[in-house]
Amino acid sequence: MVYNVMDTGNFAARFPNADLRELMEVRRGLELEAVRLAALRRTDEELEQLTQLLAQQRQAAQEGESWRFLEADIAFHLGVAAAAHNPILLALYEDFETPLRSLVVANMEKYPLATHCDIHEELLNAIQSQDTALAAQVAERFLTTLEEQLETPHG
């Protein structure tokens, strides 16, 4: 029997009370596999798109436009997932984007935007050089830093 993953329904509807720890654990799994596969499978066109999205992030960060940064950030991560060339992974990541966006918006003041751009640049360089181990290492560091920022009270 073939299992249709699309029959499972919307992530946000299925898990409306997911907490930060649960969301970040799932994100870690999706993100690490996405960056590893993207480093193996990305095309030159996808690299160009990711480069443009990173430039948009940097400009938004420099101008202090956190909402514009958020849009470019989410597009960057979706672009990495698309570059993995696994339609199931991309569909899961797209479905996961809604609760992730809500989480980011609720905690946006904790994000040092320029630091995120630097880490994304390291990730893009690892994907460009097709270094799967480095891509996973950079993503792991990024997620650990993000978790620490989210757990630290802002004040």
Residue 47's closest CA among 128, 130, 119? 128
- 52: its two tokens: 């443009």
Burial 91-123 (b: 16+ CB within 10 A, else e): ebbebbbebbeebbeeeeeebebeebbebbebb
Task: Give the chain's domains with CATH numbers.
Answer: 19-150 (1.20.120.530)
Average pLDDT over residues 20-43: 92
Higher pLDDT, 18 or 47: 47
CA–CA dist 45, 65 (Å, integer): 27
CA–CA dist 74, 67 (Å, integer): 11
pTM of the model: 0.85
For residues 21, 25, 28 and 30, what is the CA-based torsion angle, rounded to 10 degrees? -130
Classify the phi-psi angles of 130: left when phi > 0, otherwise alpha if psi is within -120 to 50, otherwise beta: left
Confidence band for 147, pLDDT divided at 50, 70 and 90: confident
Whose tokens are 């751009």? That residue is 117
Confidence band for 11, pLDDT divided at 50, 70 and 90: low
* pLDDT of res. 14: 73
Chain segment 60-70, per-residue pLDDT in tens: 999 989 889 88
Chain segment 72-112, per-residue pLDDT in tens: 999 999 999 999 999 999 999 888 877 777 766 766 677 67
Distances (CA, A) of 132 to 33, 34, 36, 58: 10, 10, 5, 24
Whose tokens are 């993995």? That residue is 84
* pLDDT of res. 8: 46
